[in-house]
Structure 1
Amino acid sequence: MAVLYSLTTLQKTITGHILGSHKDVRPWLLELRSSNIVIISTVTVAVFLDIFFYSVIIPVAPYALVHYMHVSENEVQHDVSIGIMVYSAGLLASSLFFGMAADMLKSRRLIMLFGLAALAGATIVLCLARSFAVFIIGRLLQGISAATVWVAGLALISDSFAEEKIGFVMGVVGGGLSMGAFLGPLLGGIIYERAGYNAVFGLCFGFLGIDICLRLFMLEKKVLRRFEKPAEDDIIEMNDIPESVTVAPTIVDTIAEEETSKHDGQTDPTDIQASDEPMPPLKKSKLPVTLRLLGNMRLVNSLFVTLMMGWIMTGLESTLPLHAEELFHFDSLGAGLLFLPIAITSMIGPLAGLWVDRNGPRWALSCGFLISTPMLALLRVPDKNTTGQKVLLFAFLTFWGLGLALMMTCTMAEISSCVMDAERKRPGIFGATGAFGQAFGLFNFVYSAGSLIGPLEAGFTADKHGWNTVTWVLALLSGISLIPAFLFTGGYVFQKKKPESESIDSTPVVDQEVAMEAHVSTATSTIDEKTIFTQRPSTVDAKL
């Protein structure tokens, strides 16, 4: 009995105090572990390391494939592109699944812990790889791990912060992404040159230990609410709610808005008309949440921009190191140094996020593509092995990195804002579980689709038509992306703003019946004037 009691106590300590999964046991350091700074740090480090582990292979792969995996030098460009494509295939195949799982399980942290296991497995496999087949398995596991981080991590950020702060926070996360994407090749090339293949993964294992500690330490906001709020987490005292929190309209608000609309001589077709007669039962829509999201023009525009970014980034990653090797006779160290200017400019992500929070994402995203387009075209200019030409190439990459930081921050913030805006204007449109997981699942899906196309297209173009054509194609893609980015980011640019009393969502009505039903259920449930239902409980925590 004593042994059984000890095991039970140990189980409660692990699941309750440490993991925070026991409903009746308060976790240790709960306020700190669910604080904004810990959540931002955990997600940013997870994103940084996931991308770092992926990109650290880029300058190493051409040499490791030949010397460790005995691949023919004539097949190196092909096999490097295949490795990137397999990573993207893993990301593509699992993004939508993890998006739905994150919303259905209502636990972002659980998905991130699963991704941590996949990342550890991928790192071990790649470290031990001595054949191209094993190398491909490692890349596939990296793609699956990336899907969990990007879906659950960004959904957790959207859960935890108010809309007016989401740009800055996404900028911090985007900075982690850019730093990982371009510090990975830099450090990978330096370490491989100085200490060899296994030393590269020694660094990765050290970083992995930090990631494990952070993901286990962090707790979601809902765990804090469980111990600080009444049993029903979504019922909050009126006096405790900050003024900036968006709440569902009560029956009094609904009737008042209708009266105002009548006096103005205007009627909103989506409003529910107040009547003494009972409302007829509304039929629930069976349309999946993912398809409802695809009815939002702003979101579709963001997904198109994300597709182009994935195409351009991976197309450049798969061809630039080999071009630099041929032109400047760079070794793995030199190939890694190519990405140093991009890593430095990625630090502006939080500043770009502040710009987005204050002025909206349209101009920041447009400026990103406006900078990126000529820089990609000018990458063809350096064509001689001189110091001046090397400096010129580094300068072009620096400005391209500046544009990339703007684009990545704006796109992630816009996707989060699209979901928040749709939920605010049509309460209940995405159901009780929300749609952040599936929205970022779509983000990952289209990014990985672009990452599949990019290396394939750029590698084929480089083999058949040369580096100059590669740069023209990438610049053309960037220029094309500028048009919808300017027209549709934040809403259609030429759409006239409507008065608040008659404003309706500028996106297509995907599920009007669900929105109407949410208004009815909210109004009828507002019997006690002291309590109301918030639309996003996590927003309250972000304000407190």
Structure 2
Amino acid sequence: MSSSIRKPWGYRWRSSTFFILSCVALALFSENFLYSFIVPILPTILEDRLHIDPSKAQVNTSAVLSIHALVCFLSGLPIGSWADRNASRKGPLLLSLGGEIAGTIIVATATSLPVLFLGRIIQAIAGNAAWIIGFATVTDTVAAEHRSRAISVISVFFISGLLVGPMVSGIFMKLIGYWPTWLIAIAILVIDMIMRLGMIESPAGLKKDVDGSRSDSNPSDETSTLISRSRSSTGEFRQEETLQQNANTGLYSTETATESSNQNFYKVMLSNPQALTAMACHGVNALTLVSFDATLPLHVTRAFGWDTSRISLMFLLLQLPTMFLSPLTGWMKDRVGTNGPASIGFLATAFFLWILGTAGPDGLSFVGSREKGQAVYISSMLGLGIVRSLLTGCGVIEMTSVVTKLQETQPAIFGPNGGFSRAYSLTNMSWTFGMLIGPILAGSLNQTVGYYHMNICLAIICSICAILTFLYFHRK
């Protein structure tokens, strides 16, 4: 009977972990790619297409960029709840990509400011869904012992979109013009949609179940039935025993699994110190990253007289080491847990932030703004790029660990499809919240207390995160 069942064409590679992760990586890359892709094109859109007064260009530019983060923050929880009600990840992923394509077309063809904002809102909702469902797909696909490395690598693709987006649009806008440049963005989304249409979901847990059933199969149907019944009764006994232990220890309420899923998911997660630490650290990662966007260009121009090419080099120093080292640090997190790497990463980040602030006119006098100060600044940026690899994906990894442990202890606590999408919606909210307040906090501190003391404040925040990760992140 089983031999007569024909598998779909290309089943082996279409259901492979590599192909599924490639689809997710491209999807997450496209989310940040679209967020930043518009930056070099925005002056053309506002002044040439929408005929906005140049004096209002800065205000509208900030509004167009910030509305994306605001919508992501507001839409995270509803998207997570919707995704967890769907057993399949492929359909929601395709829907999110279709939304990204629609939003991109609206932005590119906008002839009024409200239409432009509408396109950005659609892009934000669809991209947010791609982020949440994408990480849930990674968790479904990759075995637990390899998840840290997979999440670290996927996170690199996600963050790299911020760097690649403006580079691509800025270069091609000059070379080939407005409409062909937008076609590049749409082409990336179309390629991702084709890949997702070909993707066949292959959950890691299902693979183990299938392998286990094959290895335990017995030619005697009668014997198999007895074994199955024995296992069923044993499983029920163990589940009852686990529930009783949880009730005795006060870990969970005695409500049914359905009630817990519908009513108590956020109560359970937001009262868990490990989950709260994961959210806080994920948000601080975003905050420190976007603080460079808000303050670095102006600071190095005033302090060192650098041009745009050297400013771009600083952002490359911040991104490239992370991209190359994250697979290695992800492997290390699989081996030793995230406790040590994250604690060291935040402490090192705090140290390099302080050193970064010492260079310049308002820093330490013996460092200054000349060759020595510039060398210190460049070295600090390189150091930050290296240690950021220790922090890549830590918030998502820890949130995955929380949900996994809870569902192992009480399997139906978050419903039949689990709670990973809702969990990732929480980390996504913390990330977008960091992106929202990062430029505001860094910019206001830079204006009121200066660049040096601004970096000290950010270093203190990172040091607090180092203490929290040491206390609450898991170790092996």
Q: Provide, for residues 92-116 of structure 1, a one-character-per-residue CA deviation record: whole Å limited to 9, x for no partner.
A: 1221111111110112122211221
Q: What is the rounded CA distance, in whole Å, between the counterparts of 1:433 and 1:473 in structure 2? A: 42
Matched, 1:299 2:275: yes
1:432 partner SS? coil
Q: What is the rounded CA distance, in whole Å, between the counterparts of 2:347 and 2:62 in structure 1? A: 28
Matched, 1:317 2:313: no
Q: Provide, for residues 129-168 of structure 1, a one-character-per-residue CA deviation record: whole Å limited to 9, x for no partner.
A: 5665554444333321221121100001111122111011
Instruction: Output the amino acid matched with 1:204.
Output: A
Q: What is the rounded CA distance, in whole Å, between the counterparts of 2:429 and 2:372 in structure 1? A: 40
Q: Note the residue ranges of structure 2 that are not aligned, 5 or more in a row.
A: 218-229, 249-253, 362-368
Instruction: Output the amino acid matched with 2:391.
Output: M
Instruction: Output the amino acid matched with 1:479.
Output: S
Q: Note the residue ranges of structure 1 that are not aligned, 5 or more in a row.
A: 1-23, 241-247, 260-267, 273-280, 494-544
Instruction: Output the amino acid matched with 2:291.
Output: G
- Which residue in the other structure is 2:17 paired with? 36
User: Residues 115 and 149 of structure 1 are in contact (CA less than 8 Å); yes or no, is this contact kept in structure 2?
Assistant: yes
Q: What is the rounded CA distance, in whole Å, between the counterparts of 1:441 and 1:219 in structure 2? A: 24
Matched, 1:207 2:188: yes
Identity level (%): 26
- Which residue in the other structure is 2:339 paired with? 362
1:15-94 matches, cutoff 5 A: 27-58=8-39, 78-94=59-75
Q: Provide, for residues 290-332 of structure 1, a one-character-per-residue CA deviation record: whole Å limited to 9, x for no partner.
A: 3332233211211111122222222322333344455566666
Match of 2:393 among 394, 406, 409: 409
Matched, 1:168 2:145: no
Q: Provide, for residues 325-348 of structure 1, a one-character-per-residue CA deviation record: whole Å limited to 9, x for no partner.
A: 555666665544432122311221
Instruction: Output the amino acid matched with 2:157.
Output: G
Match of 1:270 among 246, 264, 280: 246
Q: What is the rounded CA distance, in whole Å, between the counterparts of 1:110 and 1:291 in structure 2? A: 29
Is the alpha carbon distance of 1:455 and 1:25 closer, same or farther for their aligned partners in structure 2, counting shifts above 3 Å? Answer: farther
The structure that is helix-richer by fraction is 2
Is the alpha carbon distance of 1:382 and 1:223 closer, same or farther for their aligned partners in structure 2, counting shifts above 3 Å? Answer: closer
1:430 partner SS? coil
Match of 1:340 among 312, 316, 327: 316
CA apart distance, 1:366: 1.1
Instruction: Output the amino acid matched with 2:15.
Output: S
TM-score, normalised on structure 1?
A: 0.70
Point out the more displaced range, 358-367 or 472-481.
Answer: 472-481
- Superposition CA RMSD, Å: 4.0
Is the alpha carbon distance of 1:141 and 1:479 closer, same or farther for their aligned partners in structure 2, counting shifts above 3 Å? Answer: farther
Is the alpha carbon distance of 1:374 and 1:188 closer, same or farther for their aligned partners in structure 2, counting shifts above 3 Å? Answer: farther
Q: What is the rounded CA distance, in whole Å, between the counterparts of 1:342 and 1:474 in structure 2? A: 16
CA apart distance, 1:70: 6.2
CA apart distance, 1:373: 1.3
User: Residues 61 and 80 of structure 1 are in contact (CA less than 8 Å); yes or no, is this contact kept in structure 2?
Assistant: yes
Instruction: Output the amino acid matched with 1:119.
Output: E
- Which residue in the other structure is 1:539 paired with? none
- Which residue in the other structure is 1:99 paired with? 80
TM-score, normalised on structure 2?
A: 0.79
1:338 partner SS? helix
User: Residues 140 and 204 of structure 2 are in contact (CA less than 8 Å); yes or no, is this contact kept in structure 1?
Assistant: no
- Which residue in the other structure is 1:507 paired with? none
Matched, 1:140 2:121: yes
User: Residues 186 and 335 of structure 1 are in contact (CA less than 8 Å); yes or no, is this contact kept in structure 2?
Assistant: no
Is the alpha carbon distance of 1:223 and 1:376 closer, same or farther for their aligned partners in structure 2, counting shifts above 3 Å? Answer: closer
Q: What is the rounded CA distance, in whole Å, between the counterparts of 1:343 and 1:363 in structure 2? A: 22
Match of 2:327 among 339, 344, 350: 350
2:440 partner SS? helix
CA apart distance, 1:208: 2.5
User: Residues 151 and 440 of structure 1 are in contact (CA less than 8 Å); yes or no, is this contact kept in structure 2?
Assistant: yes
Q: What is the rounded CA distance, in whole Å, between the counterparts of 2:42 and 2:409 in structure 1? A: 49
Instruction: Output the amino acid matched with 1:295.
Output: S
Q: What is the rounded CA distance, in whole Å, between the counterparts of 1:177 and 1:308 in structure 2? A: 16
Q: What is the rounded CA distance, in whole Å, between the counterparts of 1:40 and 1:27 in structure 2? A: 20
Is the alpha carbon distance of 1:431 and 1:490 closer, same or farther for their aligned partners in structure 2, counting shifts above 3 Å? Answer: same
CA apart distance, 1:28: 2.6
- Which residue in the other structure is 1:536 paired with? none
Is the alpha carbon distance of 1:201 and 1:257 closer, same or farther for their aligned partners in structure 2, counting shifts above 3 Å? Answer: closer
User: How many residue pairs align between the two structures?
Assistant: 444
User: Residues 190 and 336 of structure 1 are in contact (CA less than 8 Å); yes or no, is this contact kept in structure 2?
Assistant: no
User: Residues 70 and 432 of structure 2 are in contact (CA less than 8 Å); yes or no, is this contact kept in structure 1?
Assistant: yes
Q: Provide, for residues 177-209 of structure 1, a one-character-per-residue CA deviation record: whole Å limited to 9, x for no partner.
A: 232222334444444566666565344234233
- Which residue in the other structure is 1:378 paired with? 355
Instruction: Output the amino acid matched with 2:318.
Output: I
Is the alpha carbon distance of 1:413 and 1:331 closer, same or farther for their aligned partners in structure 2, counting shifts above 3 Å? Answer: same
